[in-house]
Structures are given as C-alpha cells and as structure tokens.
Amino acid sequence: MVRRLKRFWTALLALLALIPGIHAESRVKYVALTFDDGPSGKYTECLLDGLHERDAAATFFLCGYRVEQYPQLAARIVREGHEVGSHGDSHGYFTRMSPEALCRDLARAQEKITGACGVAPKLLRPPGGLYDISALEKTVCAQMPVVLWSVDAEDWHRTDVDGIVRDIVRETKEGDILLMHDMSDSSVKAALRVVDLLQAQGFEFVTVSDLAALGGHRLGAGKVYYHFPAGYVEKKASISAREAHTEP
C-alpha cells in the first residue's frame, strides 16, 4: 500500500513538472526583508521570535542610540543569523549634516553597533533614504554600499495590518528589498504575515548581502542599491563572454 502511494506521488509530481507554470512557481524566489530604526524592545523581540519560527532571515538597519539602549537585543539579532547595517547614530538626516557631523554620526553608530553585535556593519541606509552621493563619497566613515528599497508600504505611520500586508504582498517580486520598521505592534504583525504569505508563494527570505551574493552581485562602497533583479547577472555574464570573444 505504501509503495503504491509512493508510486502515485512520484507520477503526480512528474506530471505537474510538465506544466510550465507550475514548474516556474515551484522554484525558490529570493527576497530581502529589512527593518529600520531599531532595536525596539518588545517589538524587536516578538519579531525575532516570529522570524526564528519561520526560518526567515532579515537585515536590521540599526540606529546607534537605540543599540545603546538595547545592546543585548542587537547581539541577539546577529546571533540568530540576521544581518545588521548602519542607520546612523542619531537618525538625523545626512543631507542636513556637515561632512564633519556626518562622519562623527556614522563613526559613533559603527562603534556602538560593532561593540554590541561583535561584527561591524557593512551596509548603510540613510535615514529617510535621504543622501547626497557626492557628500557620501567624500566622507571616509560612509564608505559602504548604500542600500535603499524597492517595496515600501509605509508601515511606520499605518496601523491597518491587513492593508500593509496586502500592499507588500501585491508588490513583491523576486530580488526585491522590502522596507519595514520593527517599531510597532502592527508592523511586526504585518511583517510576520507577509513572511507566511510570501513563503507560501515560494519566496525565501535572505539577508541583503546574501540576496546580492545569490545573484552574483559584488557590492561597492558609495554605490546605491534598490533591489537585485533576477537575470541581471546572467545577462552581464553573457555580454562579457561575448566581449571576451571579440577581443583581438
């Protein structure tokens, strides 16, 4: 009986694989979920519990002044396999700071995050997404890849969990970087529901660095990234292969 059931499943799976749509949907699609402004006490704790249950990795862009308040939570983030990036020390807008003030702010954030987490942040997300690339390039302390986002449901000022979830799930494509905040009950509830729904659609949640690496992207300091669309690397590889071919 067991063997007959096994044969049935094997035959069914083989049949399903012949249908192109189903085959495409069954492959893993990677995305990166990111959280800004924390750590934030009980909300971050609840989020970490939920991510752990779901085996989902995320990237946390931490503020230095909040890491100072919750150093153990910052350490837990890294311990549980997530990535940490810098969101500045004071959450002041980079575009309103002098180069010296910006450098001080970033150096303080770097020191606090590294001290608490045991690893130095290698990614930078400017508060509000506001930056001046020429100013960043000249600031020694800002020599990191700038990571923005491609999906934003503005969860920070909303409390309608259903609406946040609907907007994010509708917009998300393979290679996207999703922006959220671990700063409220509604954001954390929405984030975990987003993970459930997208995992059911074949998405897998990885850190920003892993998302880039999986696509073969090498991140550069001072460069700005919104997402890592699939297929880009393959296209580039085929172009460079062609160029190599035509070289004398």
User: Would you name the residues annotated as active-site residues?
Assistant: 36, 181
Nearer to Ni ion, 39 or 127 (CB): 127
Residue 85 binds to Ni ion (criterion: CB under 5 A): no
Please list, in sequence order, all residues whose beta carbon lies within 8 angstroms of the beta carbon of residue 117, skipping any fewer than 6 positions away: 67, 74, 75, 77, 78, 84
Residue 83 binds to Ni ion (criterion: CB under 5 A): no
Nearer to Ni ion, 36 or 182 (CB): 36
- Rounded Cα gap, residues 135 and 7, in angstroms: 64
Please list, in sequence order, all residues whose beta carbon lies within 8 angstroms of the beta carbon of residue 206, skipping any fewer than 6 positions away: 30, 31, 32, 57, 214
Binding residues for Ni ion, how many (CB under 5 A)? 3
- Secondary structure of residue 175 in the 3-state scheme: coil
Rounded least distance, CB 63 to Ni ion, Å: 7
Rounded least distance, CB 50 to Ni ion, Å: 21
In the beta sheet, which residues pair with residue 129? none
114, two tokens: 């590294």
Query: Of 32, 35, 36, 178, which one interacts with Ni ion (CB under 5 A)?
Result: 36
Rounded least distance, CB 56 to Ni ion, Å: 21
Residue 127 binds to Ni ion (criterion: CB under 5 A): yes
Nearer to Ni ion, 88 or 145 (CB): 88
The stretch among 41-49, 71-79, 125-133, 207-215 that binds Ni ion (CB under 5 A) is 125-133
Query: Of 37, 89, 167, 174, which one interacts with Ni ion (CB under 5 A)?
Result: 37
- Helix runs in the chain, H state only: 2-17, 20-25, 42-54, 64-69, 71-79, 99-117, 133-138, 161-171, 185-200, 208-214, 232-246
- Chain contacts with Ni ion (rule: CB under 5 A): 36-37, 127
